């Protein structure tokens, strides 16, 4: 414990917490969209449980560091292409995100009158199962990042807990904002597809700088924010 409260660990904690919050933005969007299928009275509880599951998943993975490091080693080689456990998780998670985003966008555009009925039919357990599946994908990337940035497991766990608490506080606001603006929801679903493509490409050993992805997402959000302000101003003038 004496070596825990050092300047090096403090810097690692602050940096890692900030990074975990940034990396958790896509997690918040994903949880908001999946829980949006549930009845209104169940959504807030499902969001909190979903993010708590994300925190538990990341801490559990941190406590099995040797297993995590083993996931990066190829266990089979096909035509000179090594496949590791991490590759499989990224591929499955990426394809799931692409499929989920595509289906949700189709429902929003073509579903129309059936959308309300689908929200009532959404299974609470199924939504949590989907959140857990995607938490595994996001957590794996997050934990590997944490391992690379900090040497002390306690520092990593503390940073993850603080980051998830921050996400829990703002998850309701993000979800409500996305729900109020249908075009923003389509944009958020498009982000899921984009992240899915990135995960799939990484699973195929092709590195994509996350800086480009985050810049594209930030730029799109800025443009959509201007569109929302323009529509709001037009509606105000019309009234």
Q: What is the pLDDT of residue 36?
A: 76
Residues in the chain: 239
Q: Would you say residue 148 has pLDDT above 70? A: no
Q: What is the pLDDT of residue 116?
A: 47
Q: What is the pLDDT of residue 66?
A: 57
Angstrom distance (rounded) from CA 184 to CA 97: 18
Q: Would you say residue 168 has pLDDT above 80? A: yes
Long-range contact list for 173-178, CB < 8 A, 24+ apart? 174/28, 174/29, 174/32, 175/31, 175/32, 175/35, 175/36, 175/43, 175/47, 178/29, 178/32, 178/33, 178/36
User: For the chain, give me the number of helices (H) and strands (E)?
Assistant: 10, 2
Question: 123: which 2 tokens?
Answer: 């299974």
Q: Would you say residue 120 has pLDDT above 50? A: no
Q: Would you say residue 206 has pLDDT above 80? A: yes
Task: Of 110, 130, 117, give the one whose Cα is nearest residue 33.
Answer: 130
Domain boundaries, the chain: 7-208
Q: What is the pLDDT of residue 89?
A: 75
From 89-93, 138-142, 144-148, the region with the lowest mean pLDDT: 144-148
Of the two residues 223 and 37, the one the predictor is more confident about is: 223
Q: Would you say residue 69 has pLDDT above 60? A: no
Q: What is the pLDDT of residue 42?
A: 82
Q: What is the pLDDT of residue 119?
A: 45
pLDDT tens digit sequence for 179-199: 777 777 788 778 778 878 887
Per-residue HEC secondary structure of 85-150 comes to: HHHHHHHHHHHHHHHHHHHHHHHHHHHHHHHHHHHHHCCHHHHHHHHHHHHHHHHHHHHHHHHHHC
pLDDT tens digit sequence for 3-21: 556 777 777 778 777 777 7
Question: Model confidence at 58, in pLDDT bands (50, 70, 90)?
Answer: confident
Angstrom distance (rounded) from CA 198 to CA 195: 5
Q: What is the pLDDT of residue 113?
A: 46
Q: What is the pLDDT of residue 111?
A: 62
Q: Would you say residue 23 has pLDDT above 50? A: yes
Question: Residue 81 forms beta bridges with which residues?
Answer: 78
DSSP code for 38: S
What's the predicted TM-score (pTM) here?
Answer: 0.64
Residue the block writes with tokens 């801490």: 59
Mean pLDDT over the full length of the chain: 76
Q: Would you say residue 118 has pLDDT above 50? A: no
């Amino acid at each position: 414990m004496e070596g825990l409260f050092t300047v090096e660990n403090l810097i690692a904690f602050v940096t890692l917490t900030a990074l975990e919050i940034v990396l958790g933005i896509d997690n918040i969007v994903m949880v908001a969209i999946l829980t949006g299928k549930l009845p209104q009275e169940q959504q807030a509880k499902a969001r909190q449980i979903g993010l708590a599951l994300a925190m538990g998943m990341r801490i559990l993975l941190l406590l099995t560091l040797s297993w995590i490091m083993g996931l990066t080693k190829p266990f089979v080689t096909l035509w000179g292409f090594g496949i590791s456990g991490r590759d499989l998780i990224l591929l499955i998670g990426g394809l799931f995100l692409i499929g989920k985003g595509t289906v949700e966008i189709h429902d929003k555009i073509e579903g129309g009158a059936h959308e309300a009925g689908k929200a009532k039919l959404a299974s609470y357990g199924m939504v949590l199962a989907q959140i857990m599946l995607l938490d595994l994908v996001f957590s794996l990337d997050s934990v590997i990042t944490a391992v690379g940035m900090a040497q002390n497991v306690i520092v990593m766990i503390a940073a993850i807990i603080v980051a998830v608490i921050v996400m829990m506080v703002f998850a309701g606001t993000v979800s409500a904002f996305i729900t109020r603006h249908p075009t923003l929801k389509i944009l958020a679903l498009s982000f899921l597809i984009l992240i899915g493509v990135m995960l799939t490409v990484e699973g195929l050993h092709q590195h994509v700088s996350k800086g480009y992805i985050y810049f594209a997402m930030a730029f799109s959000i800025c443009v959509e924010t201007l569109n929302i302000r323009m529509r709001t101003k037009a509606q105000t003038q019309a009234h």
